[in-house]
Chain A
């Protein structure tokens, strides 16, 4: 079906539980992983809250889907961009986010960080280099 490899990026811009965008975006990322494209995922604006660690949804009756992000490495999704300014504007640092890793098959399954902290300008350059942008 997929005769060529394209650069796919999924952009997450919204907080995790106020609307369903974050959860349904994650479903697209997981399904898309089966298509063997060159996949990146970006988190910006309120989307950075999706990766916040220690999420507890027991008070709102919704499923806490945040543990699923830790599985992205197993789906060979290893490039996760987080926009630095979006974190700063919300008083967050990388320490407030889950530690996401992937295992590098070519280096004896060495564990490597998936998250790449980038400035707004740098993220803009990454976006410009993509073939397909899924915007959520």
Chain B
């Protein structure tokens, strides 16, 4: 089955960031295809490489990056949500005159159309959030 996953909550604050990760991992292990993972609302905070959790805790951001690398996943942060919350890649830094970037490997920033298109193209849209 072809899936698009939407993650609406930030890491550590809310379990849905963990649940979405475990769901994605399990789906891939079962042979399903993940068309896209779209991060919205505070979910965009899953994509900052500056996160520094305590050493005895899981690193949610690094975990996403590894999964993306292993399975060549398309992980998209919503641009409007990312701008509000200060998640920046090279293009955004240049466009908005910011002096730094913080996007984590495996993530890209794009528009909400990517979420809608995921819903159109996939057999299921699975939403993780409150």
Contacts and interface: CB of A to CB of B under 8 A. Distances in A.
B116 to A, nearest CB: 5
Contacts, number: 51
Interface in A1-60: 1-2, 4, 6, 8, 20-21, 24, 27-28, 31-32, 34-35, 37
20 contacts: A6-B120, A8-B119, A20-B41, A21-B8, A21-B130, A24-B40, A24-B80, A28-B112, A28-B115, A28-B116, A31-B116, A34-B113, A35-B113, A35-B120, A132-B119, A132-B120, A132-B125, A133-B125, A134-B125, A135-B127
- Tier of interface size on chain B: 10 to 19
A134 B127 contact: yes
Contacts of A27: 80, 112
A89 to B, nearest CB: 19
A37 B113 CA distance: 13
B119 to A, nearest CB: 4
Given A6-B119, A32-B112, A132-B125, 7 more contacts: A2-B117, A24-B41, A28-B116, A31-B111, A37-B116, A132-B119, A136-B129
Interface of A: 1-2, 4, 6, 8, 20-21, 24, 27-28, 31-32, 34-35, 37, 132-136
Q: Is the interface of A mostly helix, strand, loop or mixed?
A: mixed
A135 B7 CA distance: 11
B81 interface: yes
Nearest 3 CB-CB pairings of A with B:
A31-B112, A132-B119, A32-B116
A8 to B, nearest CB: 6
Contacts of B84: 20
| Residue among B40, B80, B81, B117 having the largest count of chain A Cβ atoms under 10 Å | B40
Contacts of A31: 111-113, 116
B86 to A, nearest CB: 14
Interface string B87-130: 00000000000000000000000011101110110000101011
